[in-house]
A and B are shown apart, each in its own frame.
Chain A
């Protein structure tokens, strides 16, 4: 009971900060808009395979940008304060939820922009949106954990990319594969649901690892 209250308070603090400063949100939004615009200038209306690949690559970069901030913004002094008022598990869960919310929002915005600017090869829209939601949450979970690790080292942003890209490849490949269902590709038998279960399972794994491992990163 107490733990969930802690998590809720920490989450509320992050969301409030976001609403008041409105720095990340608009920063990332502008990042999405300008990236998609540059893509539009260079390739206009790509065919569905390229569209799909580009979409997920852009999600990856958005995620690195959006999530990197979550641990960088916490100054040393503020971390000292968190040590005294909450535990590591509550702290990481709040961060995971917050980043998942932000990333979910960003993915949907970029999906909209992709559809407007780069054409819309998506045939089954509902299915595609569901996959995008699952995918953005998966990405944000992995990168939250990596941001927590990178925050302990110097050159955090570049280190996050170095550590994260190889780890995210399997999930990204699966997402690109699965999202072709939304682009009209038929899958044989249970292949699609198998891959969705695998993605969901990996998410659970990441959450468990974060809960187990973050207490060791918590204090210097």
Chain B
């Protein structure tokens, strides 16, 4: 019970997000209409992805400092879940864009950034699979993980501020800043959706890690 409190919290938060997000009142805006509710699902997935990739890179650094395969398993597992979150974020975003911007893909800078992040992590898995030696795979994978992260995140945070974007908060339409979010929505978003989805990501990752630790038992206790 002491160890599983956060899993219960995660379930409660997600149930609250799901029920509250779909049923509670939201501001009625032109174009957005009821699709505004997607903010509870689309945006937290990106928050979750960023946090999971950051965790992955922390374990990659830990691996380089202390070459222990457990760290490598942690880094890979976090990257896997992060990629899944990225794909889901891209899909929810595309559905949202279809109804608000008219088409699912409009080469918006943030869409490009998301696609870039996913391509980078796909390359990370291809790179790992191309190396057969386990220790070398972990080491080269960790180096690429850190390098790609260091290149990607300035791009994700800085470039969208320099060019126009359809997303709110950018240079294109600064009127729709996320801080202007309706008070009722803010509660569900920051208290329910963001921590809920992040905890879910960590939960999934711990399951992957536990599986891998059992599968690679022979390698870990040499």
Contact = CB atoms under 8 A, between A and B. Distances in A.
Q: Main SS of the interface on chain A?
A: helix
Given A166-B119, A198-B158, A209-B146, A142 B151 contact: yes
A177 interface: yes
Interface string A176-220: 010000000000000100110010011001100100010011001
Main secondary structure of the interface of B (DSSP, over half): helix
Contacts of A171: 155
A149 B162 contact: no
Contacts of A173: 112, 159
Interface residues on A, range: 20 to 34
A170 interface: yes
A167 B116 CA distance: 7
B139 A216 contact: yes
B136 A167 contact: no
Interface in A139-183: 142, 145, 149, 152-155, 159, 162-163, 165-167, 169-171, 173-174, 177
B147 interface: yes
A216 B143 contact: yes
Given A167-B151, A202-B154, A205-B150, A149 B159 contact: no
Interface of B: 64, 112-113, 116-117, 119-120, 123, 126-127, 130-131, 136, 139-140, 142-144, 146-148, 150-152, 154-155, 158-159, 162-163
Given A142-B151, A169-B155, A206-B151, 4 more contacts: A155-B130, A162-B127, A170-B151, A216-B139
